[in-house]
Structures are given as structure tokens and as C-alpha cells.
Chain A
Amino acid sequence: MYKALVIGGSAGSFQVITRILNSLPKNFPLPVLLSLHRLKHVRSGFVEALSIKSGIEVIEPFDKDSIKPGKAYLAPSNYHMYVELNKKIALSTEEPVNHSRPSIDLTFETAAQAYRDKLIGIILSGANRDGAYGLKKLKQLGGLAIVQDPNECQVKTMTEASLKLTTVDHIFTTQQIINFLQGLK
């Protein structure tokens, strides 16, 4: 019944993301949108590192690429990544939000507008407040809001900011997130 999964992470999220991607089955039924804070002058390496053991293909999309199930779309360095209402990727070099480009808030907000109640959003470890507003928007539009258990996060600022702003559906450890995603049909 869900149509897309969006994940936001910053400091301390790399290992969590890797574990999640590695655990996904090849035929994972949803597209995965990854909005992760990263070095903006380093374009190569990140998508390769995430791809090594990932169960599904991880790509850095081109502007206006169609979003397809069973693929992970990583926001390219120094671009915001939006979801258009017609389920295509839109990239942007507009000003940073929360000092971040890509901004997790913007990916979540636009994904929520496109997928409404068919969207799952997960906020992971991170050192700033980016993502909190986006998750709130996702919840308001009927999506399922999940936050990584702050006790497990290397840096808990981002998850705590999200929990302060939104009554979420689940607070999950990495393993619980994996179990949940593997159970999706």
C-alpha cells in the first residue's frame, strides 16, 4: 500500500544507512529517496560506497528522472532533491536550508506532497535540525513517520528535534527499521 520511502540522515547516519540498504531484498517494492548531508565539493565516492553491498541499485539521479520502485535515489552533492507531483526527480541549486544542500526538509516536504499517505519517512542520526519540519509535513499529509531511537544515534540532535515537532508512529532501532522494511509488501 505504500508507494515510496524517504530517509534523511546526517552525522552518524552512514553506517545505519549502509545496514538498511544491505538488508533490503532485490525486489524491494518501493523507491527509496535518500537525502543525506555530505561534503559538497566531493562528487564521487559516496554513491559507490553505499552501493557495495546494497540489496537494491543506488544511483544519483539526473534532473527529471522518473522514480521507479526497487531503486535508491541519493541526492547528489550540492543539490537539493525534490519530488515533483508527477513522481519525477527535480534537482535544484537554490539556497541552502538549515545550512544544508541537500536539505532533508525539502526532500521530505515535496515527497509528502507527491505521495501523501502513501509515503514512509525515516529520520536518522544527525547533528542539526534539518528534517524535523519535513517529517512534520509528511505526518500532516498522512504519511507514516519513523524516527531512529535517539538512544542508539551517534548524534541525537536531529532525531530529538523531529520528536519534539511531531508525534511519530514509531521510534525504532536500526534492527527494528530493517525488520519493518523487510516486512513490506
Chain B
Amino acid sequence: MEIANRYELGIVDIRNIIKMLDDVYGVDFKNHALTFFKRRVESFIKYHSFKDADGFIQKIEKDKDFFETFLKDICVETTEMFRDPSIWRLLKEETLPKNILTSPNFKIWLPEVTSGEELYSLAIILKKLKLLDNVQIIGSSISEHHLDRIRSGIFDPKKIETNDANYSRIFSEGQLSDYYTLKDDKAYWDVSLIESIKLTKQNIIFDDYPKGTKLILFRNQMIYYNQILQERFMKIMYNSLVPGGHLLIGNNERIEYWNSEKDYVLVSDSESIYKKRLS
């Protein structure tokens, strides 16, 4: 992405866009971090060559397919497979085997899967641990397009080099290419990895969510929320987890105003892993 001569929206434009999306599609972006939302919409408007905010609004309010494209582009794609390899090593060597083997009906939830790298990373580790059949995984997204893409297995071949390197930082045997194929300049995951994973479209305010989960992976998504939505989300995840269940958030995320000590035990500071207290 080059940012030279980037189109800039005014605050009134942003308010109009947020209101229109809520009025027409019932999708409420007002509690996303404002500068984040502004920047995403600006690059979307520039990419689609709209003259201004009004042109964008007129198009999107009449065109549901175009709105779906917008939803997909607003979601920040996961950067790579096994982002932060040390976390995935810890999951593989300790957190996953230790907890799954002692607990039946192990339910895992990824509240926003976007481009799917966290989901496929998790599935590959569980497959290698021979634990994929012992768990029930739910991946949700606000974007149907993202879910379709994950189902198809297609991913960006430009990421292969980074993905492969991260894999070798976690596993000494095998290679990541055991799990993907290249065909006509395109790259596809082995979709059998996700055949038992439940992929669901999620409302943006998550008024309905899975209950009784034992592990939630929600890394680097709350950085795009404001404080109101962060708090709401922390509550949802707390309610979703069973006592003793684990929560993973991003390395540089910290919910300051959230009383984490009362609700969770910090399992790993460096990897941001929390465990819900038993009582």
C-alpha cells in the first residue's frame, strides 16, 4: 500500500457513513476506534475511485454486494500464519495438550477469523498433536466473504515465505507445504483441516455468542475498538468461557480498566495468556 496523496475524510463524513451503515444494514461501527475506521474507509474510497464520501454512500446504500465487499475490507487481515511463533510453541507444547486431554467437549472460539491464518495455524497444530478430533472449533466473522474464502482454502501466496519460516520456528519436522498446494499462481490450504470447524457469520455487536468455551483466541482485534466495545467484548468473552478456560489476546493489548486480576489468573505475561478463575 502506498499512501502518497491519500484521500482524507472529514469528521462529518465519517458520522454520515457510520449512520448510513447502521440505518441501512444495522451494522454499528460507532464503537470502533475512530481513526482506525476513518483510515480504513479512506483507503476503501480511494481504491474504488470515489470522488467523495457522498459518492461512496450513494453506491453502498443501494448495493448489498458492494456492502459485503466493504465489510471484508474493513476487517484487518491476519498478518501471517503462526504470528508470534513463541505463542504457538507454548500452545503446542503445553496449553493445548495439557488442557484438551483432561477435558472432554473442548470448545474453542475465534470471535473474528478475518483471513483465517489463526484458524488454520490452530488446526495444523491440533492435527499434528492428533487432537483435532478431540475439539470443537467455532470461527466467526462479521464478513461472509472472509468465511467463504476460508472455506475455499485460498490464501495469499505472497505470504508463503513468512508462513514457512514461522512454521520452522515451531516444528522441527515436516514442513508447512504438507498442508497447502500451489495451483496456477494461487495457494490453497488443505481444507480437510477445517471440515469439522463451524464457521458462522457474527453480528458486529455479538449479541449472540457461543457458551461454554474452554479456549478463546482473540488476538489483535480489540485494538480496533474503542473502550466501550472493548469492555463489552471482555464481558462477552468472560461469560463465554467456563471457569478454568483460557483467553489469548494480542501481545501489546492490555485492557487497563478491566479488573483482570479478579477475573483471571495470568498464565503467561510474555504471551498474554489468561485463565478464568474457578470462582
Contact = CB atoms under 8 A, between A and B. Distances in A.
Interface of A: 41, 43-44, 60-64, 76, 78-79, 82, 84-85, 90-98, 101, 105-106, 109-110, 133
B186 interface: no
A43 B224 CA distance: 21
A84 B35 contact: yes
A105 B86 CA distance: 29
Given A62-B253, A78-B83, A41 B3 contact: no
A41 B166 contact: yes
A95 B44 CA distance: 13
A53 B91 CA distance: 36
15 contacts: A41-B84, A41-B169, A43-B251, A62-B254, A84-B33, A84-B35, A90-B36, A90-B223, A93-B79, A93-B220, A93-B223, A94-B39, A95-B1, A97-B2, A101-B79
Contacts of A96: 1
Nearest to A99: B1
Contacts of B86: 43
B3 A106 contact: yes
B256 interface: yes
Contacts of B76: 92-94
B103 to A, nearest CB: 30
Contacts of B78: 93
B3 A97 contact: yes
Contacts of A62: 252-254, 256
A90 B33 contact: yes
Nearest to B6: A109
Nearest to B114: A93
A79 B252 contact: yes
A90 B222 CA distance: 11
B165 interface: yes
Taking each of B3, B77, B256, which has the highest tally of chain A beta carbons within 10 Å of its own beta carbon? B3
Contact of A133 (B3, B83, B253): B3
Contacts of B244: none
B4 interface: yes
B5 to A, nearest CB: 9
Interface in B26-61: 33, 35-36, 39
B85 interface: yes
Closest 7 CB pairs of A and B: A62-B254, A63-B223, A93-B220, A76-B252, A93-B79, A62-B252, A91-B223
B2 A90 contact: no
A105 B84 CA distance: 24
Contacts of A64: 223, 227, 256
A77 to B, nearest CB: 9
Contacts of B77: 95
B254 A63 contact: yes
B251 A76 contact: yes
A96 B4 CA distance: 14
A107 to B, nearest CB: 12
B253 A41 contact: no
A98 B78 CA distance: 18
Given A78-B79, A93-B223, 4 more contacts: A78-B83, A85-B35, A98-B2, A101-B79
A97 B1 CA distance: 5
A109 B3 contact: yes
A41 B165 contact: yes
A101 B83 CA distance: 13
A133 B4 CA distance: 7
Contacts of A92: 36, 76, 223-224
